[in-house]
Amino acid sequence: MKTNFQISPNQRLSVIVTVVGIILLIPMIAMQFTDEVKWTISDFIVAGILLLGTGLAIEFVLRTIRSTQIRLLLFGFILFVLFLVWAELAVGIFGTPWAGN
């Protein structure tokens, strides 16, 4: 028996927000147990904006693009941009004024 599992757009938005919250809980919990993780409130805000923006961009692609190949290409691009921005903020691979150290 073949089932076609579908999730509604509203459910996807709930999943996106929940996953972002869970990901942000990881450093918050780690800060309770070690001094190696030292995030400020601005770190959480920036990470939340990056993760939520990425999730919403992927949701937008899912809603508007029907071609699987184009979707995968756009997903890859969105994730690539996320990783580049994250790396720049974390360690400063490009040397911008926002570079982290």
In 3D space, the residue among 34, 11, 39 whose CA is nearest the CA of residue 24 turns out to be 39
| Per-residue pLDDT at 91 | 86
| 12 part of a folded domain | no
Q: Which tokens sit at 13?
A: 């938005």
| 13 part of a folded domain | no
- The vertex-53 CA angle with 17 and 86, nearest 5°, equals 110
Q: How far apart are CA 54 and CA 75, in angstroms?
A: 9
| 80 part of a folded domain | yes
| 73 part of a folded domain | yes
| Per-residue pLDDT at 97 | 82
Number of domains, the chain: 1
Q: How far apart are CA 74 and CA 98, in angstroms?
A: 26
| Per-residue pLDDT at 3 | 59
| 84 part of a folded domain | yes
Average pLDDT over residues 25-44: 95
| 95 part of a folded domain | yes
* DSSP symbol at 66: -
Run of H or E residues at 67: none
Domain around 98: 39-101
Amino acid found at 37 = V
| 29 part of a folded domain | no
Give the highest mean pLDDT range of 1-5, 28-32, 90-94. Answer: 28-32
| 26 part of a folded domain | no
| Per-residue pLDDT at 93 | 84
